[in-house]
Structure 1
Amino acid sequence: MIQIPQNMTEVKVKIAELEELGHTSDEKQVVFEAIQDNAQSLLDEQLEGNYYSCKLHDDTITIFDVIQKPIGEIKSQNASFDADFRQDANKMLIYLDTEIRRVINQR
């Protein structure tokens, strides 16, 4: 089972897996969760643990420290993270990794 889809092919597989388990799923929601979950995974990896959190809202990902204080934001490269993911998920993930590193290094 796919935990965190990293491209549109994996999104479609995840939707099929969820439907097979009897869950209704919406592609837009699965993409949203994939973007947010990938950002959190990259953040956890860079900090070597789950110390900070992030939240996707529209075309911005906000990163929060351990006391839930916002420490930085990442804007999508184009119209939205949804559009970026659909157009080229790998490029978006590389961008996210770079931008998360920038935010962490500024703290």
Structure 2
Amino acid sequence: MIQIPQDMTEVKVKIAQLEELGHTSDEKEVIFDAIQDNAQSILDEQLEGHYYSCTLDNDTITVYETPEKPAGTVKSQGASFEDDFRKDANGMLIYLSKEISRVINQR
């Protein structure tokens, strides 16, 4: 089973897998989860552990040192991260990695 989709093909496979298990989900929801989960995975990898968290809100990912203390934000390249993912998921993930690195290195 695909845990975190990396592109639109994997999104479609994940939806099919969820439907086989009896779960209802739509493409937009799976893409949202994929972006947020990929951002958290990148953050954990760069910090070598789960020290910070992040949340996705349409065109902005906010990185938090603690639940009350934002460390910084990453803006989408286009209208939203969903649009960026749909157009070029790999490019969006590369951009996200670079920008998350920028946020954690400015602390």
TM beyond 0.5: yes
In structure 2, the residue matched to 1:76 is 76
In structure 1, the residue matched to 2:43 is 43
CA distance in 1, matches of 2:63, 2:77: 17
In structure 1, the residue matched to 2:57 is 57
CA distance in 1, matches of 2:3, 2:91: 20
CA distance in 2, matches of 1:66, 1:45: 18
In structure 2, the residue matched to 1:66 is 66
In structure 1, the residue matched to 2:15 is 15
In structure 1, the residue matched to 2:92 is 92
- Which 4+ residue blocks in structure 1 deviate beyond 4 angstroms? none
RMSD over equivalenced CA pairs, Å = 0.7
In structure 2, the residue matched to 1:31 is 31
CA distance in 1, matches of 2:37, 2:15: 16
**CA offset at residue 58 of structure 1?**
1.4
Deviates more, 1:59-68 or 1:29-38: 59-68
**TM-score between the two structures when normalised by the length of structure 2:** 0.98
**CA offset at residue 66 of structure 1?**
3.3
**CA offset at residue 68 of structure 1?**
3.7
Task: Tell me the alpha carbon deviations over residues 5-32 of structure 1, each in whole angstroms, 9 at most, x when there is no partner.
Answer: 0000000000000000000111000000
**Number of residue pairs aligned between Structure 1 and Structure 2:** 107
Q: What is the one-letter code of the residue matched to 1:50?
A: H
**CA offset at residue 67 of structure 1?**
5.0
